[in-house]
Structure formats: C-alpha cells, structure tokens
Amino acid sequence: MSLLDSPAPPLTLRPLSLTDGPALQAVYQASADFFRDRAGAPPDPGQAEADLAATAAEEGRFLLGIALHEAMIGLIDLRLAYPEPFDVSIGLILLAESQRRQRLGSWALRMLETWLRRDTPTEAVVVAVPAQDHAAQVFFTANGYGFTGQATRVLAGSTRLRLLEMRKSLI
C-alpha cells in the first residue's frame, strides 16, 4: 500500500517557540539513539533550549514540531530560501524512536511539501544526508528525492562526515 492509499494520521506541524523547550527536550530524550550515533553522547539537558534560541536568532530558519494527537513526537529543522532563493533546506527530520517506521516521517514531509507548494515561492527542497546513513537515503529516495552529485564534508564533534545532497522539485 502506498502512502497515497493509506489514511492520513492525525499529524500536525507547527512552528516552535522558546516556550516549547520542555516538549522538544522530551523528543530529544526519546531520540537518544540519534544523538549517540551523531555526537557519541545522549542529548545535553539544555539542548532544546539552545536549539530554539539559535533558531530564533537565525533569519529564515524554523523548527517545526511534529505532533500526533497533539503530543509532540518529532521535529523538522528547515531554512527558507536556502541554498538558493527558491529552495528550502531541511536540516533534520527527527522522530522519537517509538514513532519511527510507521510512515509518520513521510506524512510529515508530505504535509511540509504541500504547504511549501501552496503558500510559498519554493521550487525545490534540498537535504544533505550523511553518506553512511543509508536509512536516511532510503527514506528520502522513497519520498521522491534524488542525489544531485554534490557532496560536502563537515565536522561533527571529532568526526568528519561526508554529506550527500538530495533534491526534490516542487514545480
């Protein structure tokens, strides 16, 4: 059964503010495996507050909470008009570990893309996935993203990651 054939779950997306720190921190704690894989340690107790403050200070960057039955289960980190004026860059889609593999991430991504098509001048969505993160590559490929051939290297803690760019046209 494809995503289009299944009934939509009761998901909502909404911009997060500084007051959402406790709910976001709970998502981070429920995603400790992600933090251990990326940074080698569980999330810092003040990570959500720091991320929300950094987002509020950065023009065009937003953290969207993913809620199921009004309870926050994940987030999408995005930048509007980046890397090009009509692009949106997704920095992260994160779901609490107990909410994964239920197609909720695909539904949230589809909701985001629908909003971008309808209410913004966005022409494409861009994401950079770690070369070793095959699950993320499969997720984005299954949702219509393709590799662009572009790659960059970034420092994540003491590890250098190679990021592969993927892109999906919305027009």
In the chain, where are the structural domains located? 3-169
Q: Is the peptide bond before 7 cis (omega within 30 degrees of 0)?
A: no
**Residue given tokens 């503010």 in the structure block:** 17
27-52 pLDDT, tens per residue?
999 998 888 877 777 888 999 999 99
Band (3; pLDDT cuts 50, 70, 90): low
Residue 43 DSSP SS3: coil
What per-residue confidence (pLDDT) applies to 5?
A: 61
List the structure tokens of 154: 């970034």
119-169 pLDDT, tens per residue?
999 999 999 999 999 999 999 999 999 999 999 998 876 778 899 999 999
How far apart (Å, rounded) are the C-alpha atoms in residues 8 and 25? Answer: 26
**Would you say the C-alpha torsion 90, 14, 11, 100 has a positive or negative sign?**
positive
**Homologous superfamily (CATH) for 3-169:** Gcn5-related N-acetyltransferase (GNAT) (3.40.630.30)
99-123 pLDDT, tens per residue?
988 899 999 999 999 999 999 999 9
CA distances to 20, 77, 83, 154, 165 from 150, rounded to whole Å, are 35, 21, 13, 13, 5
Task: Kindly state the average pLDDT of the residues 71-97.
Answer: 94
Residue 49 DSSP SS3: helix
What per-residue confidence (pLDDT) applies to 7?
A: 73
Q: In terms of Cα–Cα distance, which of 88, 114, 91 is closest to 13?
A: 114
